[in-house]
Amino acid sequence: MSLYKNKKKEILDASLWLSAHGYFGSLRGSGGNVSVRVDVNSMAITPSSVKYNDISVDDICIVGLDNKAIEVKDGLKPSVEAGLHSIVYANRSDVHAVVHTHQIYGSVFAIINTPIPALFDEVSFALGKTIEVIPYALSGSPELAANVGSKLANNANAYIIQNHGILALGKTLDKAILHAELLEKVAHIYYLALSTGKPVCELPPSISDLAAALRDSEVTQTMNKNK
C-alpha cells in the first residue's frame, strides 16, 4: 500500500467533485489539475491527460517540488502544470492545496484580462483585496510558472490566469475548493453587474484594506511557524 494513499484519495475525491460541478470546463476532458502538499519537499498531483472519470487512486502522482518523480504509475506523467503548483508551494508555506480550473465565469475575466475588485467582505477576507490577473504564458511552460510566482507575494488565495483559467489556494484542499467556488460566485455577479451598464459599487477601502492586513498577518504567522 502506498504511503501516500490518503493524499491520493483526497485529490481523487476533490477532482471528481470539481469535474461533476463543471469546474474543469468539460466532463469528458482532462483539463485542470489538483494538488496537495505532502511535505516540505513534495506534493501529490493529478496525472496528465487522463479523464477524471477514469482516474483511480493509484493514478495520482507524487513528485518533488523540483518536479522529479517520486511515485508515478507506469505509463502516466504528472500534470503538465506541476511546475505551476510547485512554485506555489515553494513560495507560500501557508498553502497546502492548489486547485487550477477552467470554470466559466472566472474564465470570462481571464479572456478580457480584467481583475475582479473587492465586492463582498467575505470574498475579500477569503480571497484577496483584488483577484489579480497572472500574465499569459503557454500552458505547462516554465514561463507560466514564473508568472505565477511573480504574483504570490500579495498573499491572495485566488488568481485569474490570462487566457487560461483560475488558480485557487488553501490551507486544506477543502479550503482551496471553497476559494474556487467563491471566485466563481463573485465573477458571475461581477459579470452580471457590468452587463447592466450601471456603476459597480466596490467595498469601502477601509474594509478591503483591513481584509488585506488581516490576511497578510495570518499568512506571515503561518509561514513563520512552518520555517
- Please identify every residue annotated as catalytic: 81
Q: Which position has the grid cell 513563520? A: 224
DSSP sequence for 100-165: EE--HHHHHHHHTT--B----HHHHHHT-SSBPEEPP--TT-HHHHHHHHTTGGG--SEEEETTTE
Give the span between the Cα atoms of 95 and 89, in whole angstroms.
Answer: 6
Backbone angles phi, psi at 140, to 5 degrees: 80, 0
- How far CA 74 is from CA of 36, 41, 56, 71, in Å, comes to 21, 22, 13, 9
